[in-house]
Amino acid sequence: MPANKVWVRVCSLADLPEDRAVNVHINNQRLVIARCGDQAHIVQGYCTHMLYALKDSAVKDCMITCKLHGSQFDLQDGSVQSWVTPMTEEIRTRKALRTYPTEVRDGVIYVAWNAESAEKVRVRL
Ligand code: FES
């Protein structure tokens, strides 16, 4: 991990619903966080199709489904799994959600964030 990344506590895994994404604000960036079994993933807060908010989107089998037109993304790498037009390899990668590295330790979710120290990062669910 680069020297400017620090691990920041986000919340307990048990704080998250199992079937939908919720907003998480990290230093005023609005992202979404969702469970994937015993792991959790953080991705950008808006769909790459038409920028619809992903908050409250359904989550199943590590896949998040946008509520507006039903595009689906793999939470683990952000890649597009289903799109509003026929899928191509270019769409799969070019329209992928931005992801943020996360870890779960003893039931607590941490995100790797660019900052001098974890104390300088504000996290709010
Ligand atoms: S805005 Fe998400 S699929 Fe269209």
Which of 84, 85, 97 for a ligand 1 pocket mutation test, highest count of atoms within 8 Å of Cβ?
Answer: 84
Residue 3 pLDDT: 60
Q: Which atom of ligand 1 sits closest to the CA of residue 51?
A: 1
Cα 11 from Cα 1, distance rounded (Å): 21
Residue 102 pLDDT: 98
Residue 2 pLDDT: 45
Per-residue pLDDT for 124 more than 80?
Answer: yes
| pLDDT > 70 in the chain, percent | 98
| Residue 125 Cβ < 6 Å to ligand 1 | no
CB contact at 8 A, 96 and 77: yes
Cα 19 from Cα 59, distance rounded (Å): 5
Task: Kindly state which CATH superfamily the domain 5-124 is placed in.
Answer: Rieske [2Fe-2S] iron-sulphur domain (2.102.10.10)
| Residue 49 Cβ < 6 Å to ligand 1 | yes
| Residue 98 Cβ < 6 Å to ligand 1 | no
The predicted model gives 2-21 an average pLDDT of 92
Q: Which atom of ligand 1 sits closest to the CA of residue 84?
A: 3
Distances (CA, A) of 35 to 29, 75, 81, 90, 96: 19, 9, 18, 27, 18
Per-residue pLDDT for 35 more than 80?
Answer: yes
> Can you list the positions of beta strands (E) in the chain?
5-12, 22-26, 29-36, 39-44, 58-60, 63-65, 72-74, 80-82, 99-100, 102-105, 108-114, 123-124
Summarised one tens digit per residue, pLDDT across range 54-106 is: 999 999 999 999 999 999 999 999 999 999 999 999 999 999 999 999 999 99
